[in-house]
Amino acid sequence: MPVVVGVDSSTQSTKVEVRDLDSGELVSSGRASHPSTGIAPVSQTNPTEWITAFDQAYAQASAQAVLPNVAAISVAGQQHGLVTLDASHKVVRPAKLWNDTESAPDARWCVDQRDAAWWASHVGSVPVASFTVAKLSWLKRVEPQNWSRVAHICLPHDYLSWHLRGGGAAEITTDRGDASGTGYWSPSTNSYDGEVLKIIDKSRDWSNMLPRVAEPLESTGQWGDAVIGCGTGDNMAGALGIGLLPGDVAISLGTSGTVYAVSAQATADSSAAVAGFADATGSFLPLVCTLNATKVFDSFANFLNVDLQQFGELAMTSNCGANGLVLLPYLDGERTPNLPDARAMLVGINSSHSRSDVARAAIEGVVCGLLDGLNAITNCGVDTSGRIFLLGGGAQSPAVCQIVADLTGKQVNVLNEPEIVALGAARQAAATLTGKWPSWVASSRIAAQPIATSSQCNDTRQRFVATRIKSYGV
C-alpha cells in the first residue's frame, strides 16, 4: 500500500500527514511547534527551524504506524516569507515572514515608483507589507551589508523542498501559486517581471537569484525513494484540500483571515484589496487577506475574562448588529485595507451595551472585514455564487459559523478534516506521482443556516463600512 506525505509548514508549526495513495485515508500524522517569531511589527525566524520541526513532525508520524512505501511528498508553506541564502547556500539572515510589517514603508515606496494600476497589470497585485517584494526593498534599504551577500532568494516552501532534495547544489524551485504572492512574478504571463525587479535593484543579475517555477504536476526531485512535488503556498494547498470548485468561496479564520475563490481568468485589482494569485493547478486564486482574525477573539475573550467557548456563548446572546456597537478589529495594523499603523477601535459604545454586545461586535468586526474582501473579489468579475466553506480555528466556534451565515445570508459548511493544508499538499504529492488529481478531498458538513433577516445583515455590514470610512478614510 503506497502512501503519500503532505506537509504544512505554517507560521506557528509544521504538520505532517501520511495518507493512502488510493483512498486518501489518513494513516498517521505529526506536529511540531516553531519558536516565537517576535513582537509586532517584527516577525521573523531562522529557516532551519522549519527543518527541525519537519524532522520532529515526521518522526511522530512514523512512530504512530509502520509506514509502507512512501511514494511521494509535497510541501505547502506560509506565503510571502523572504528566505535569503549566500553563494554557499547558507542563510544570510532570519526569514522575514508574511506578518512582519517593518516593510510597510517599502511597500508604499514601491507603489510610489509606479502607480497601483501599473503594479496590478504587471503582477496581478499591488504591493503591501506582506509581499516579498516589499521585504526585498526593506533588506536592501536597512541591511545593505546583508543585501550584498544574498545570492539566492526563495520562499518558505521552496526552502524546505530544497532541503528534502538534499540542499547544497540541488536546484531551488518554486511553483506558480506561491510565486504569485511575491509581487515580482506575473500570473498572467507565467514569468518573473524584470521591470519590477529593476525597481528593487537595477544593478543585480536576477537570472540566477530566483527559483525556477515548476509546472503544477512536475516532479522536482527525490526524497529517498519518494517523488517530490513542486509544493505551493498554504492558501493554494487549502483550495486543493477542499476541492474548491468555480463559484465556491473559502473563508479561513486563523492567525490571519483569508477569503478566496477559484477563477479561470487572472485578476488585476488596482485598489490593492484583491491579490491576483495563481493556484496550484493552472488556474487562478484571487484572494483577500486580513492580519486580524482569531487573535481578535482571543484578545476580547481575555478582556471579558472568559474562555473561547464562553466568549462565543456571550456573542450569541446579543443581536445581529450588536445593538449598534462596531469593532474595527485592527489590533496590530491591517493588510486589507492597507492600514499598517492602524489600531482597533470599539465605536458607538454607551451605558446600555453589555458584555454580550462587545463579544458579538468582536466577531462581527472580523467577519465584516472578510466579507468586504469577498465583495471585492466578486467585483473583479469572479463567480462567488457557490458554496461557502469556513476554515481554520474560527470554524470550530458555533458562534462564528452562525455569524458568517447571518452576514452572508447563506448556508455555512465546515470541513471534517482539521489539517486542510496538509491534505492539499498530500493531494498534490499524489497527483505528481500519478499525473492526475486524486478524487479524494475533505468531507464537509453544514454548520449553520442564516437566522438574521436580510435587513439586519445589510444594516450591520453597512454600519461597519461607514465606521471604517469615517475613522480611516478607506
Instruction: Give residue-wise pLDDT tens across range 445-468.
Output: 999 999 999 999 999 999 999 999
Furthest CA-CA distance within the chain: 67
Can you give the pTM of this predicted structure?
0.89
Percent of the chain with pLDDT over 90: 89
The verdict on whether 234 is a catalytic residue reads yes
Three-state DSSP at 92 gives coil
279 neighbors 262 (Cβ within 8 angstroms): yes
Neighbours of 435 (CB within 10 A): 7
Query: How many CA within 13 A on the CB side of residue 278?
Result: 25
pLDDT interval class at 21 (50, 70, 90): very high
> Got the DSSP string for 260-297?
EE-BSS----TTSSSEEEE-SSSSEEEEEEES-SHHHH
Domains and CATH numbers, the chain: 3-242 (3.30.420.40)
**pLDDT, greater one: 429 or 129:** 429
Q: How far apart are CA 147 and CA 158, in angstroms?
A: 20
Find the mean pLDDT for residues 413-423. 93
DSSP assignment, residue 82? B
> Please, which pLDDT band fits residue 333 given cuts at 50, 70 and 90?
confident
By CB atoms closer than 10 A (0-12, 13-18, 19+), residue 116 is middle
Q: What is the full DSSP assignment across 204-262?
A: S-GGGTS-EEE-TT----EETTEEEP--EEHHHHHHHHHT--TT-EEEEESSSEEEEE-
* Catalytic member of 8, 193, 234, 269: 234
Backbone Cα Rg of the chain = 22
Q: Are 274 and 377 in contact (CB under 8 A)?
A: yes
The predicted structure's pLDDT at residue 177: 96
